[in-house]
Amino acid sequence: MSYTVLIPARLASTRLPDKPLADIAGRPMVVRVAERAQRSGASRVVVAADSPAIAQACRAHGIEAVMTRPDHPSGSDRLAEACQQLGLAEDSTVVNVQGDEPLIDPALIDAVAALLAQRPEAAMSTAAHAIDAVADFGNPNVVKVVTDARGLALYFSRAPIAWWRDGFAAGIEQLPQPRPLRHIGIYGYRAGFLQAFPRLPQAPIEQLEALEQLRALWHGHRIAVHLSAHAPGPGVDTPEDLQRVRALFAAGAA
């Protein structure tokens, strides 16, 4: 199947200034992300930049980039503008790969795109994997997802869900079976829905949890969830994360 990978890249970052341009083994991080995406089956990989510096860095390494407005409130708004600039057909598939995932698995990108094609009732697709550690289950920075029998998302939360009523009576000391699912922040969209999504009113649950994907569920749209056998490679949010990823590249593990 044919699909496009779009990578939103924003220069400002409170925890890691100029994050997309951070050097990883001689290349900017956003270029490393795009190079991983190019190993997938995507027919096109495009960076949606908010800064000429990002666009120039991409083009210097042969990566396609488009300039988008710097004042977009979210990554999906930025990608909606990129869809319009690229003239993507409404029924075409777009996969949103985050610009701080230089170790993203190309096979995961393919799986999210394929799942959307297989599930016409879903407006979006995403991914999850089984949680291994009790600490992750209780961590509000680890987003959890619960699905129905068809593999469609019922809810996403920073809270530990589903709550094991009997097993957690004395606190979260072990994980329930089946194991809870950690959400992986990659999304597939049909381009028409992606362009319409930013115009949907924000949902109260979205604002409470600070999880944009809840807007889709609030308005009645379905999200299909691919279950990955393993956790993704580490992303980069902090200087410590960056050092960890640099060490993996230096060791040849990337």
pLDDT digits (tens, 9 = 90+) for 163-220: 999 999 989 999 999 999 999 999 999 999 999 999 999 999 999 999 999 999 999 9
Please give the pLDDT value at position 12: 82
Whether 180 and 193 have beta carbons less than 8 Å apart is answered as no
Please give the pLDDT value at position 63: 98
How far apart, in whole angstroms, are the C-alpha atoms of residue 140 and residue 156? 12
Please give the pLDDT value at position 187: 98
Cα torsion angle, 39, 99, 144, 2, sign: negative
Q: What is the pLDDT along the chain (254 residues), one digit of tens a residue?
A: 899 999 999 988 777 889 999 999 999 999 999 999 999 999 999 999 999 999 999 999 999 999 999 988 888 899 999 999 999 999 999 999 999 999 999 999 999 999 999 999 999 999 999 999 999 999 999 999 999 999 999 999 999 999 999 999 989 999 999 999 999 999 999 999 999 999 999 999 999 999 999 999 999 999 999 999 989 888 998 999 999 999 999 988 67
Determine how β-strand 124-130 pairs with β-strand 223-228: parallel
Which residue shows structure tokens 């995961």?
Answer: 108
How far apart, in whole angstroms, are the C-alpha atoms of residue 15 and residue 197? 28
Please give the pLDDT value at position 20: 95
How far apart, in whole angstroms, are the C-alpha atoms of residue 222 and residue 26? 41
State the amino acid at position 41 in one-letter form.
G
How far apart, in whole angstroms, are the C-alpha atoms of residue 71 and residue 86? 19
Please give the pLDDT value at position 212: 95
- For residue 173, the tally of other CB atoms under 10 A from its CB is 8
Whether 152 and 91 have beta carbons less than 8 Å apart is answered as no
3-class secondary structure, 152: strand
Whether 32 and 122 have beta carbons less than 8 Å apart is answered as no
Domains in the chain: ranges and CATH: 3-128+182-251 (3.90.550.10)
Q: CA neighbours within 13 Å on the CB side: how many for 31? A: 19
Please give the pLDDT value at position 16: 87
Please give the pLDDT value at position 109: 98
Cα torsion angle, 181, 241, 57, 251, sign: negative
